[in-house]
């Protein structure tokens, strides 16, 4: 048996503490820190101001049989379903980088 080896308890997902500053509700203290750093550098930026759609939603009408990793190796049809759109919301958007 190895000496000095300690098993660490598995921890769940990180739950960040919500912070409010200048009337803006940030998702974490790190985002508030970055907001203050941008403000100190005199860079005008909006916090979560825009959401971009990277991929529109579509209907996948083909059949797609895939082997399941459940130990039985069953082949299940994973196709013929609606695929939701993929969105991206950046934390900070500078007005000087927005192309319209």
Q: Is residue 24 part of a domain?
A: yes
| 3-class DSSP assignment, residue 6 | coil
Structure tokens at 26: 């940030």
Q: pLDDT higher for 2 or 85?
A: 85
pLDDT band at 82, cuts 50/70/90? very high
Count of the separate structural domains present in the chain:
1
- Give the burial class of 93: count Cβ atoms within 10 A of its Cβ; 0-12 exposed, 13-18 middle, 19 or more buried: middle
Q: Is residue 32 part of a domain?
A: yes
Structural domain span for residue 35 = 19-95
CA distances from 53 to 31, 49, 50, 65, 83 (A): 22, 14, 10, 29, 13
Q: What is the pTM of this model?
A: 0.54
Mean residue pLDDT of the chain comes to 84
pLDDT of 2 > 80? The answer is no
Q: Is residue 37 part of a domain?
A: yes
Q: Is residue 11 part of a domain?
A: no
Q: Is residue 4 part of a domain?
A: no
Contact between 22 and 38 under an 8 Å Cβ cutoff? The reply is no
pLDDT digits (tens, 9 = 90+) for 4-50: 677 777 787 888 899 999 898 998 999 899 999 988 998 888 888 78
Q: Is residue 64 part of a domain?
A: yes
């Amino acid at each position: 048996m190895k000496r000095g080896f300690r098993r660490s308890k598995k921890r769940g997902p990180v739950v960040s503490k919500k912070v409010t500053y200048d009337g803006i509700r940030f998702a974490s203290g790190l985002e508030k820190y970055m907001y203050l750093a941008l403000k100190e550098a005199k860079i005008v930026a909006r916090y979560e101001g825009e959401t971009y759609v990277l991929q529109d939603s579509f209907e996948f009408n083909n059949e797609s049989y895939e082997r399941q990793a459940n130990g039985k190796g069953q082949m299940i049809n994973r196709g013929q379903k609606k695929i939701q759109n993929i969105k991206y919301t950046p934390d900070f958007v500078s007005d000087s980088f927005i192309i319209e």
